[in-house]
Amino acid sequence: MYQQDEDKRDRRRKNGIGNYNYYKMFGCFNRKFKISDLGPPQDVIDVFRLYSTDGSEMLPDKFLLFLTEFQGEEGITIEDAQQIMDRVLDLSTSHLTRYAFTVNDFFHYLLDEINGPLKTQVHQDMTAPLQHYFIYTGHNSYLTGNQLSSDSSEVPIIRALQRGVRGIELDLWPNNARDGIHVLHGRTLTTPVTLLKCLKSIKEHAFVQSPYPVIITLEDHLTPSLQAKVAEMVTSTFGDMLYFPHPSDKNEFPSPDELKYHIILSTKPPKEYLPSKNAHKRRSSVDKDSSDDEWEDLRQSNSDQDDDDDDTYSISDRSYFCPSSDRCSASSSTHRMSDILGVDYEDDDNEDEKSGHQTALEYKHLIAIHASKPKKGTRKALMDEPGKAKRLSVSEQALQRAASLYGADIVRFTQKYILRVFPKGTRVTSTNFRPLTAWMHGAQMVAFNMQGYGRSLWMMHGMFRANGGCGYVRKPDFLMHKGPNGEVFDPKATLPVKTTLKVKVYMGDGWRLDFSQTHFDAYSPPDFYTKINMRGVAVDVSKKRTRVIVDDWTPTWNEEFTFPLRVPELALLEILVQEYDVDRADFAGQTCLPVSELRPGIRVVPLHNKKGEKFKSVKLLMRFLFV
């Protein structure tokens, strides 16, 4: 990898004359900028001297000592050290016959992806029940863009699964002929995709990235006869991959380990319909006995504002509702109101209820995780129901309000049941909310629009880089245990500093390989700086930044920052490189790392684009030290 970078760099330098970059000014004369040589920072030189013989070469025994003492690696043998040295030196194709690092070889190793900041293997206990884990979860997983008019497709589902997402949401609606099933965002201008195409795509890609279970959450707007078709499609498509619920599941969810390579269905159990004379008693609006919680959530949705990373829309924003179209029925505002409130509304077009009893049972037997929504108020829905393992869905603002008024009830609920939090309906451009409040209260399924981008989504990607990127991250013990008097974790509590993380930003490289010479500035090399932000409980939040390095494609900062942490288990380190501009900073790369998973020592940190895709070459060299 590093040799390929060197070859590209050599070709780029040949485009300059005498190791200089030339930029045209006003189209008539050149400005000359010297190209900085990529060399090891002083700390790297000092560490090499410490673990080398006479400061000239590092042999395998000394390299092993460096890995165990300085980098904190565990279980490394002399054979492992030699294999790493072989990778860097490439002894199989060189004239060298012995393992020995020069300082430049050692520097090349530090910049190799094998020296990344996180473990790449699953290492957490995967034998606890599902509610003990945060689960990588998508929202409206079939949408390619915005929530109102984008296409529905299996492509974003495939991409999500390839990233490691374990929760896929499908909205099921009858087709125009009412004899088939479409997946789309109902009563909007989104185009449909067939359910069968989605199911086949899930089957083919479910376990490419991770062996742990995929949970399909269904928003079901179907008649009993169409539910029977879903049951047939699901069983014929997935076969043995489909998990059939066991009687014991009513008391306790199975573990990710038990559910490896299985597909799990989660939705509301269908009604076991009575004679049709009762059909007209079904509600066409919210329950009369609903508490004021949801209505308060609606009232507050106008005033709920996120930070500048996410677009927000008020309920009265006309752009939220469909433009004039035959596809936007008079009931569309009612449908969207259900998204906003986190309250479920029933359709009243089930004309075949008389024959629905048996088909409802067939469908019901496939549902491994029963879902519900807080029709009688969020607080009531959070009450314990012995012998009924379940999943509760609430909107982001319902969660926010509940956290501020009765957060302990949420934590107690998530110790036993699964809580899914979804974006408010006004996020029509597929933005996302900050997930940390949900995680702090133990919410397992924080559902995100994976097709978007922005800081909130970077945090989601960052959290699930933990545990080898398998899509399941074990919740901290304090979220699963009660104190001697029944007390639970309180994110607002004043806690002592548990550990201090020191972060040193040495240098950055790779932009000249991944970007054109004039991408950031038409007249000079870029002026890079790095932001280091700590995200977590309120008392742990902190923002730092380096100085600006002017006119340099390989900036060297050598700056250290200190972060005292009260709850490191829920902390995320956000790293953002920008190019300074008087009007607006230009994006130059980002990543987000779970603090509890950071490997100490000098590490290479690959950066990603705005959508979370890793750049080919752009990276930072950093050091992490826990005190």
Contact assessment for residue 538 and residue 492, using Cβ atoms and an 8 Å cutoff = yes
Strand partners, 544: 532
State the Cα–Cα distance between residues 370 and 393, nearest whole angstrom. 11
Distance, CA of 227 to CA of 230 (rounded, Å): 5
Polymer length of the chain: 627
Secondary structure (DSSP) of 537-570 = SGGG-EEEEPPPBPS-SS-EEEEEEEEEES-GGG
Residue type, 33: F
Whether 519 sits among the annotated catalytic residues: the reply is no
Tokens of 387: 């012998």
The neighbour count for residue 361, using CB atoms within 10 Å, is 15
Question: Tokens representing 234?
Answer: 């699901």
| Of 76, 179, 55, 57, nearest in space to 599 by CA | 76
The token pair at 162 is: 């390839």
User: Which one of the listed residues 108, 132, 139, 221 is annotated catalytic?
Assistant: 139
Beta bridge partners of 308: none
Which CA distances in Å does 297 have to 182, 346, 401? 31, 20, 7
Spatial CA neighbour of 574 closest among 551, 543, 537:
543
- How many other C-beta atoms can be found within 10 angstroms of the C-beta atom of residue 90? 11
CB 117 within 8 A of CB 593: yes
Is 481 catalytic? The answer is: no
Active-site hit among 132, 185, 262, 608: 185
CB of 89 closer than 8 Å to CB of 96: yes
Distance CA 210, CA 213 (A): 8
CA 375 to chain centre: 29
By the 8 A CB rule, do 347 and 227 touch? no
Radius of gyration of the chain (CA): 27
Q: Are 109 and 125 in contact (CB under 8 A)?
A: no
Tokens matching residue 149: 């008019």
Tell the burial category of 237 from Cβ atoms under 10 Å away from its Cβ (0-12, 13-18, 19+).
middle
Q: How far, in Å, CA of 53 to CA of 603, rounded?
A: 23
Report how far residue 332's alpha carbon sits from residue 239's, in angstroms, rounded to the nearest whole number.
36
CA pair distance 136, 127, nearest whole angstrom: 17
Measured between alpha carbons, how far is residue 99 from residues 84, 103, 174, 536 in Å?
10, 13, 66, 43
- Determine whether 178 is exposed, middle or buried from the number of CB atoms within 10 Å of its CB (0-12, 13-18, 19+): middle
Q: Which residues are catalytic?
A: 139, 185
